[in-house]
Structure 1
Amino acid sequence: MESDPDARPPLVPAGPLTAGQILGGAVRLLGIAPLATVGLPVLAAMVEFVLLQVVALPYGRVTGIPAADLAAVAALLWVVLGSAPAAVAFVVLDHAVRGRRIGPAAALATGLRRAPGLLAVYVLNLLVVALVAAVGLIPVAVLQAIGTNSFYRLVAGPVLVLSICAMGIYAWVVHVSLIVAGPAHVVQGFGVLGALAESRRLAPGNWWRTFGTLLAAGAVVAVLASPAALPLVVVGVPRVAAGLWAALVAGVVTPFIAGVIGLIHVDQRVPWRSFR
C-alpha cells in the first residue's frame, strides 16, 4: 500500500490539549511552510512601516507626531494588514492538525481568499468590545446631565473609575469569548456573524482555560520580544534598520499568536467533534 505523499504527523495529539501542547504546537507551526507563515507577516510589517513613514513625515511637520496618535494609527493599520498573515497561518495550522501537508502557494491562495472576511470579523469584534467598554461611561454622563454641584462632582470621579474598571473587565471577558471567531471563519467557513456566534457557542466551560492559555502566550511573547525589541530603543539606530528588525520580530510573533488562537479553537472543538 502506497503512503500518502501529503501526509505528515499531526501537529498536536488528538483530544483535549494542555497549555503546553498549545504553545509548543504554535512554535512548531513556524517551521511549517515558513515562506507563508513567517514570510507574509514580515512583508506585511514592512508595508506597514513604509505606510507609517508616509503618514508620519507630513503629519510630524505640523504636530510633532504625538506618540499616542501614531500608535493608534499603527494598531489600526496592523488590524488591516495583519488579517492576511493570520488567515494564512490558520490555513496552514488546519492542515497540520489534520496531518496534511500544504504548500506555500496553496496556503497563500486559500488564506488570501479568507482575509477580507477575517478582517471584517476582527473589526466587528473590536466594535463589540469597544461598545461594551463604553457602557462604563454612561453613569458619568447621567451624573453630568443631572447637575454640576459639588456633590455630583465629588461622586462622578469614583463612579467613573468603578464603571470603567467594571466595563473594562467585562469587555475582556467578551473579547476572550470571541477570540476563536477568526479561525471559525477561516477554517470552518462560517460567515462574519456566524463566526462570532460559533465562538460564543464554544466559549462556555472553556473561558478560564482560554484565558490562562492566552496569558501564558502573552508571557512567552513578552519574554522573547523584549530582548528582540532592544535594538528599536537604542539611540542612534537608523530608522530603516529599526523598521526592518521590527518586521522580522513580527514575522515570528504574528504566526505564533495565530497558532495559539488556532489551537485554542481546535481544543474547544474537541468535545463537539465538529472538525472530524
Structure 2
Amino acid sequence: MTGGPGWGDPQPPGGPNPSDGRQQPPPPGWGQPQPPPSGGNQPPSHPGGNQPPSPGGNQPPSPDWNQSPPSGWNQPPSGWGQPQPAGGAGQWGPLPQAEKPGIIPLRPLAVGEILDGAFAALRRSPAVMIGLTFGVTTATQIVAAALTAIGQRGSTGLALSLSIVDIIINFVVIVALTGVLSVAVSELTMGSSIQIGEVLRRVRPRLPGLAGLSVVVALLTLIGLIGLVIGGIFVAVALVLATPAFVLEGGTIRTAMRRSWTLVRGAWWRTFGILLLTSIVVAVLLFVLAFIFGLAFTAASDALTDPVSGDFTGPGLALNAIMSIIIDTVIMPVMASVVVLLYVDRRIRLEGLDMTLAQAARERRAATGQGYQ
C-alpha cells in the first residue's frame, strides 16, 4: 500500500467499481467541500479516513480516497453541487470557491489549474520532484551512454538492438517515475510535504508491478500503432491514468488499467487536449534547452564527434548525457504531475473525491497543529 491506510479495494461513491467497471450514479449533493466548521468542532469522520497518528507521532491521518463522503456533509455551497456531465463540461460562469489546502482547489479543475498545479508541485517540493527525477535520469543516462558507446563500436544490427533496449528502459523508467511522483503529488494536493525516504518506502512494494504495467501499456500502444496511428493514440490516452491508480489505490495491473479506462471514458477528448497542451508547453521548454546545448555542440563539434564516422567521442557522450539529464529533470516532473492531477480531477468529477480530501486535510491540520501551506 503506498497511500496510507484505506487506499486499497476502492469502492468509490458515484464512480466505477473496479471489480466490474460499471458506472454508478453520483451521490446526492455531489460531495463538495464545506467551510471549516465554527467553534473548532471537527467534521464527522468518514469510514477509514480518521486514522490516528502512528506511535511515533509524526504521521498525520492519511486520506481515504476510496470511501463515501461522510453523512451530513453532502450539502454543497451555494451555486455549486451539480454533477458534471461525462465529458467534464461545467456550467457557464465563474468557478465556485473551494478549499485549497495544497497545490489545487478541491473542486473540478480548469485546464489552467492543472498546469499551474503541476508547476506548483515543483515549487513546493523541489527535493522530491526534481531530486528524485535527477537521480533516476542520471542512472538511466549512464546506462544509455554505455549502450550508445557499445553500439558505435559494433555492427549496425547490434546498434539497432541496443537502441531498442534503450527505448524500453526509458519507457519503463518514465512509468515508474510517474508512479513514484504520484505519491508526492497526492500529498501536495492535501497541503502536506513528504520526504524522499517516505516516498520510496511507500512506492517500493509497487515497483515490480509498475514495471509490468509499463510493459503492458507499451505493448498495447504498439499494437494500436501497428493497426493505426490513431488507435495507438487512443489507447495511450485511455490508459494514461493507470499509473496513479495503480500506485494510489493498490490492486492489480488489470484493475489499474480498467480504472483508467473508466475514468477517461466520456472525457477522452478533454484528457487528450490537456495532454497535448502540456506537450506543447514542454516542447517550448525543450526547444529553449536544446538551443542552448546546440550552441555548445556547435562550438566544440570537433571535440564531441568523430570527423570521419560522425559518432560521439567520450566528451560528446558525456555532454549528451548531461543534456538529457537536465532536460528530463525539467520535463518529466511536469508531465507526471499533470497526469496525477488529471486523475484527481476525474475522480472529483465522477466520485466526489473532493469531499474526502477536504475532510482529510482538515484532520491532518488538526493533528499536526499546522495551517495550510
Task: Describe how 1:57-76 pairs up with structure 2 within 5 A.
Answer: 57-63=149-155, 71-76=163-168
Task: Describe how 1:7-86 pairs up with structure 2 within 5 A.
Answer: 9-63=101-155, 71-86=163-178
1:149 maps to what in 2?
A: none
Q: Using the TM superposition, give the Cα deviation of residue 246 of structure 1 relative to its aligned residue in structure 2, in angstroms.
A: 2.0
TM-score, normalised by the number of residues in structure 1:
0.79
2:188 maps to what in 1?
A: 96
CA distance in 2 between counterparts of 1:23 and 1:118 reads 25
Task: Describe how 1:1-276 pairs up with structure 2 within 5 A.
Answer: 9-63=101-155, 71-134=163-226, 136=227, 167-233=228-294, 234-235=297-298, 236=300, 238-239=315-316, 240-270=318-348, 271-274=350-353, 276=356
Find the residue that maps to 1:62 and give its secondary structure. Answer: coil
**Gap change, CA 1:198 and 1:98, over 3 Å in 2:** same
The question of whether the paired residues in 2 share the 8 Å contact of 1:181 and 1:196 is answered with yes
What are the superposed Cα offsets for residues 106-152 of structure 1, whole Å, 9 maximum, x if unpaired? 11222333222222212111111222333x3xxxxxxxxxxxxxxxx
What are the superposed Cα offsets for residues 244-266 of structure 1, whole Å, 9 maximum, x if unpaired? 23212211211110000001101
Find the residue that maps to 1:16 and give its secondary structure. Answer: coil
CA distance in 1 between counterparts of 2:120 and 2:157 reads 39
What are the superposed Cα offsets for residues 93-118 of structure 1, whole Å, 9 maximum, x if unpaired? 11111232222221122233322222
Higher alpha-carbon Rg: 2
Find the residue that maps to 1:13 and give its secondary structure. Answer: coil
Paired letter, 1:133: L
CA distance in 2 between counterparts of 1:83 and 1:171 reads 17
The question of whether the paired residues in 2 share the 8 Å contact of 1:84 and 1:112 is answered with no
Paired letter, 1:51: V
The question of whether the paired residues in 2 share the 8 Å contact of 1:41 and 1:251 is answered with yes
Paired letter, 2:240: I
The question of whether the paired residues in 2 share the 8 Å contact of 1:37 and 1:85 is answered with no
CA distance in 2 between counterparts of 1:192 and 1:64 reads 36
Q: Give ranges in structure 1 of 5+ residues lacking alignment.
A: 137-166
Q: CA RMSD in A?
A: 2.6
Q: Using the TM superposition, give the Cα deviation of residue 70 of structure 1 relative to its aligned residue in structure 2, in angstroms.
A: 5.7
Higher helix share: 1
TM-score, normalised by the number of residues in structure 2:
0.60
CA distance in 1 between counterparts of 2:352 and 2:163 reads 41
* Matched pairs, number: 243
Find the residue that maps to 1:11 and give its secondary structure. Answer: coil
Paired letter, 2:133: P
2:91 maps to what in 1?
A: none
Q: What is the percentage of aligned positions where both structures have the same residue?
A: 28
- Once structures 1 and 2 are overlaid, which stretch shifts more, 178-187 or 8-17? 8-17
Q: Using the TM superposition, give the Cα deviation of residue 27 of structure 1 relative to its aligned residue in structure 2, in angstroms.
A: 0.7
**Gap change, CA 1:34 and 1:111, over 3 Å in 2:** farther
The question of whether the paired residues in 2 share the 8 Å contact of 1:46 and 1:247 is answered with yes
Q: Using the TM superposition, give the Cα deviation of residue 33 of structure 1 relative to its aligned residue in structure 2, in angstroms.
A: 2.9
What are the superposed Cα offsets for residues 61-120 of structure 1, whole Å, 9 maximum, x if unpaired? 123699866653332111233344322210011111123222222112223332222222
**Gap change, CA 1:68 and 1:227, over 3 Å in 2:** farther
Q: Using the TM superposition, give the Cα deviation of residue 11 of structure 1 relative to its aligned residue in structure 2, in angstroms.
A: 1.3
The question of whether the paired residues in 1 share the 8 Å contact of 2:244 and 2:343 is answered with yes
CA distance in 1 between counterparts of 2:162 and 2:282 reads 23
